[in-house]
């Protein structure tokens, strides 16, 4: 069965997710995000997160995408650090007072749990949206809403430029490696950023003329 690309995955072309419609999925994603942001309930947010993670992995979202799961892990460590070491939340019981006058109470852990669960539900909703939605669906929905042709063209160019730019970066990196360019030390890294940034930036800016000509030729709009 043919598989079609989404923003972060591949799904069978007859997948129910493709039949749901981009606007519906996007609206659900926004709605869930907003509700989770302002909901202070651990159980509901945790339940939503578990439900979304199940949906994500049911699609066959593979281990190769684990970087994003690590990012969520870092976030949780970061939240925990800030809440435990730097907060001053009064509670019934105080467990620990830090030398810098902040303290850990029973309420600290309540707020920490709320923050973690809230973030888990928001992040999982975001990942699920990316796993089940595609660039084509986005562009088609822009056309469906009769947005100006130029706005749709802008979005298409932006997505295409991402591909070109990543390729340019890889080419310049390969060229630097082939010339045995030393990437050691801070100055080496900074020089590398200059090389890559300069080449990629100017290359892309030069493409504007070509893309404009192509737009004129296709639309007859000059």
Partner 1 sequence: MAKGKQAVNFVLIGVLAGIVAVLDYIGVISFPMGVFSVSAFYIGSAFFMAFAVWFRGKGLLAIYLGLLIGAILAGTFTVFAFVLALGNVIGSAIPMLFFNSGKFNMELKRGRDYLAYIVSATILQQVISAAWTLTGFYIVGFMPAEAALAAATGWIGGGVIVSLIIGIPLLKFTSPVVKRTILTR
User: Taking CB under 8 A as the criterion, which residues in 135-164 touch partner 1?
Assistant: 150-151, 153-162, 164
Q: Which of 55, 111, 171, 199 binds partner 1 (CB under 8 A)?
A: 111
Count of residues touching partner 1 (by CB under 8 A):
75
Q: Which of 8, 104, 132, 142 binds partner 1 (CB under 8 A)?
A: 8
User: Contacts with partner 1 in 171-190 (CB under 8 A)?
Assistant: 190
Distance CA 113, CA 94 (A): 17
Binding flag, residue 54, partner 1 (CB under 8 A):
no
Residue whose CB is less far from partner 1, 14 or 90? 90
Sequence-distant contacts of 55-58: CB under 8 A, at least 24 apart:
55/128, 56/124, 56/127, 56/128, 56/131
User: Contacts with partner 1 in 56-75 (CB under 8 A)?
Assistant: 65, 67-68, 71-72, 74-75
Q: How far is CA 106 from the centre of its chain?
A: 33
**Cβ 144 to partner 1 shortest distance, Å:** 19
Count how many Cα atoms sit within 13 Å of the Cα of residue 104 in the half-sphere of its side chain: 12
**Cβ 1 to partner 1 shortest distance, Å:** 25
Task: Compute the Cα dihedral for 60, 66, 68, 69 and give only its sign.
Answer: positive
**Cβ 5 to partner 1 shortest distance, Å:** 13
Binding flag, residue 12, partner 1 (CB under 8 A):
no
Across the chain, the runs of DSSP E, i.e. the strands, are 3-5, 10-12, 94-97, 103-105
| DSSP label of 101 | S
Residue whose CB is less far from partner 1, 14 or 37? 37
């Amino acid at each position: 069965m043919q598989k079609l690309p989404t923003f972060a995955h591949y799904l069978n072309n007859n997948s129910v997710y493709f039949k749901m419609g981009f606007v519906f999925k996007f609206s659900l994603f926004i709605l869930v995000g907003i509700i989770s942001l302002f909901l202070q309930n651990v159980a509901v947010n945790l339940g939503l997160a578990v439900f979304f993670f199940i949906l994500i992995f049911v699609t066959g979202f593979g281990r190769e995408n684990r970087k994003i799961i690590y990012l969520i892990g870092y976030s949780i460590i970061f939240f925990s650090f800030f809440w435990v070491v730097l907060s001053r939340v009064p509670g019934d019981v105080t467990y620990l007072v830090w030398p810098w006058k902040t303290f850990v109470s029973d309420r600290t852990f309540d707020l920490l749990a709320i923050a973690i669960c809230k973030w888990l539900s928001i992040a999982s909703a975001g990942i699920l949206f990316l796993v089940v939605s595609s660039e084509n669906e986005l562009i088609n929905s822009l056309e469906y809403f009769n947005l100006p042709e130029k706005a749709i063209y802008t979005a298409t160019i932006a997505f295409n430029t991402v591909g070109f730019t990543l390729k340019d970066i890889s080419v310049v990196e390969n060229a630097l490696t082939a010339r045995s360019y030393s990437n050691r030390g801070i100055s080496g890294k900074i020089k590398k950023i200059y090389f890559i940034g300069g080449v990629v930036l100017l290359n892309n800016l030069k493409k504007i003329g070509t893309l404009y000509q192509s737009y004129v030729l296709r639309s007859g709009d000059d």
